[in-house]
Structure 1
Amino acid sequence: MSVTDLAQAEGLLHLGSGVARAQSWAYVQAHGDVLLPPVQVGAERWRLRWTPPGADAASHQAVPLPGWHALRFAVGKHEGWLLADAALATCLADDGVQPDVPHAIFCALAADALGNVSRAVEAQLRQPVRWQPELSMQPTAVWLAQNAVSFSVCTDEGAARGSGAIAMDDLAGWQRWQQALEEAPDADTPRAARVVPTPQWMERLAIGVRFMIGQTQLRASELRGVAKGDIIAIEKWTSRGAALECVGTVPGIPMLGIAAHALGKQIMVDAVRHTERDMPDERNSAKPVQAKGLPGAATAGAPVASFDDIEVLTTFELAEQALPLHVLRNLAPGQVIELEQPLNHTTVQIRANGSLVGSGQLVAVGNRLAVRVSAFVHDTPDHA
Structure 2
Amino acid sequence: MPSNVATLDTAPDLPHVEADTARLMNWLTCRAAPVPLRLAGHDWRARFVPPDGAIAARTAQGYAFTLGTRHGRICLDVASERTLLGVPGAAEALPVLLRHAIMADACADVAAAVGAVQPDALTWHPAPAAWPSNLAALGVELTRPGAAPLRAVLQFEAPERLAALPAAPPARTAPWLAALPAPLAVRIGTTTITVGEMREIEPGDIVSIERWQSQAGALVVRCATGQRGMTWTAVAEGRRVTALDDITFLHGAHMADTHPEGHRAAEPGAPADIPHPDAAQATLSHLDGLEVELRFEVGDVAVPLAELRAVKPGYVFELPQPLKQSEVRIVVNGNRIGTGTLIAVGNRLGVRVATFAAGDA
Q: Which TM-score applies when normalising by structure 1?
A: 0.61
Give 1:360 shift.
0.9
Equivalent residue, structure 1, for 2:161:
180
Equivalent residue, structure 1, for 2:45:
47
Q: Which TM-score applies when normalising by structure 2?
A: 0.64
Equivalent residue, structure 1, for 2:33:
35
Structure 1 letter corresponding to 2:246? V
Corresponding residue SS for 1:271: coil
Corresponding residue SS for 2:307: helix
Q: Match for 1:237 among 210, 213, 218?
A: 213
Gap regions ≥5 residues in structure 1: 1-13, 136-146, 291-303
- Partners of 1:36 and 1:245 lie apart in 2 by 50
CA distance 1:24–1:312, shift in 2 (3 Å): closer
Q: Is the 8 A contact 1:260 1:271 kept in 2?
A: no
Corresponding residue SS for 1:108: helix
Listed as ranges, the matches of 1:175-324 within 5 Å are: 176=158, 178-184=159-165, 186=166, 195=170, 207-216=182-191, 223=198, 225-235=200-210, 236-238=212-214, 240-241=216-217, 243-253=218-228, 256-264=231-239, 266-274=240-248, 282-287=255-260, 289=262, 314-319=294-299, 321-324=301-304
- Partners of 1:41 and 1:322 lie apart in 2 by 52
CA distance 1:148–1:364, shift in 2 (3 Å): closer
Equivalent residue, structure 2, for 1:362:
342
More helix by share: 1
CA distance 1:270–1:24, shift in 2 (3 Å): closer
CA distance 1:124–1:260, shift in 2 (3 Å): farther
CA distance 1:15–1:220, shift in 2 (3 Å): closer
CA RMSD, 1 decimal: 4.8
- Partners of 1:214 and 1:309 lie apart in 2 by 22
- Partners of 2:309 and 2:301 lie apart in 1 by 15
Gap regions ≥5 residues in structure 2: 1-12, 129-135, 264-272, 274-285
Structure 1 letter corresponding to 2:241? I
Listed as ranges, the matches of 1:4-153 within 5 Å are: 16-17=15-16, 26=25, 29-30=28-29, 32=30, 34-41=32-39, 45-52=43-50, 70-75=61-66, 76=69, 78-83=71-76, 86=79, 89-90=82-83, 92-94=84-86, 96-97=87-88, 102-103=94-95, 104-121=97-114, 127-133=120-126, 149-153=138-142
Corresponding residue SS for 2:103: helix
CA distance 1:88–1:19, shift in 2 (3 Å): farther
CA deviation string 1:320-368 (max 9, x = no partner)? 6344444333323444434334323311123468775532101234554
CA distance 1:134–1:369, shift in 2 (3 Å): closer
> Is 2:161 the counterpart of 1:163?
no
